Amino acid sequence: MPGTEIRPFRVDVPQAALEDLAHRLRTAQWPDELPGVADSYGVPNQRVRRLADYWLNSFDWRAFEARLNAHPQFVTEIDGEDIHFLHVRSSRPDATPLVLTHGWPGSIVEYLDVIAPLTEPESADQPAFHLVIPSLPGFGFSGPTRSTGWGRHRTARAWVELMHRLGYRRYGAVGNDGGSMISPEVGWLDTDGVIGVHVTQLFSFPSGDPAEFEGLDEADLAALKHLEWFYANKFSFNALHSQQPQTLAFALADSPVGLLGWNAQLFGESLDDEFVVANVAIYWLTRTGASSIRFYYEDAHATEQPSGPTTTPTGLAMFAGDFQSIRRFAERDHANIVSWNSYGGATAGGGANDAGGHYAAHEATDVLVADIRNFYAGLI
């Protein structure tokens, strides 16, 4: 069928683009900063300067490019957009297909560390998986979107088409951040095909009914308190993305330091510089810093909403320092939660502004892999 071709893809950034990037980093103009305010006004100069210095003097794009190209990559057109994805098949004939979805300001980089243990587990007793890891429309190597409407619902429809196009009629959906919103939608759309949805956040919020708050335990009350703090101190990105993404687009498209500062606000301070810079570099070198944030606008202005809770078996693995889901609210939106695990420890991060554990596939790879395995082992 015309337009359904799956084409091999290889990352090959022109050297001129890398040289232009280096020039912009060397000649960046830095903002003034008030003394002694730390991060109370936003991401501080010191952090962005350190990351920019790492990007310019230590980060090896060609080595990272080779790491990406070590995995099979493809592009196919779905609903008028080019969709880039990694497709790594297990050698095991009993492997179960999974589609893994990232969010903003993450990318396919989020899931590189889980590829080997999920596709080729050390023990034959552990389930194996074929992995499909797409770049969201308007993100990274999927390129800037050429049409409106690419929020969670349209993306979920594209993912169902992608999995069917690859020949997968029975599969699982895994997600983090924006992927934790898209993956349940995939299960909603393809109830006969999706065997289970595994996410690291269930974004279910109070409805406004006072009765919902009666009898909440201490952990739930702490989760509500953290959510209130996040809304009061860190939610400006969502408001701007949802209302005026094009206004911000000029700065993100013109300045790698501007892009670095904006995206770094949601990369935990305990994350390694390599991971942060690799993610931001993909946005810069694909010119998708601006198009990626349109996801929020499209979602905020979507008229399409599912009616009733999801019914696909759902599993949650949440990590200390990240968004803390509240089961009472989650069960209102997801009627078939079969696994609910909370992890803490080293992933808790270093402070209020450090969302440690948000990138669990990178920060707590073994823990997340084990949770995914256990969840799907009960469904296969």
Peptide bond into 105 cis (omega under 30): yes
Q: Of 358, 359, 371, 376, which residue is the catalytic one?
A: 358
358 is catalytic: yes
Strand partners, 6: 76
β-strand pairing of 337-343 with 314-319: parallel
125 is catalytic: no
Q: According to the 3-state scheme, what is the secondary structure of 71-114?
A: CCEEEEEECCEEEEEEEECCCCCCCEEEEEECCCCCCHHHHHHH
333 is catalytic: no
Q: What is the largest CA-CA distance in the chain?
A: 62
Q: Of 168, 171, 283, 296, which residue is the catalytic one?
A: 296
CB atoms closer than 10 angstroms to residue 17: 14
Instruction: Identify which of 143, 134, 32, 129 has the alpha carbon closest to the alpha carbon of residue 81.
Output: 143
- Establish how many alpha carbons lie within 13 A of residue 343's alpha carbon, considering only the half-sphere containing its beta carbon: 24
Strand partners, 7: 75
Residue numbers annotated as active site: 177, 296, 358
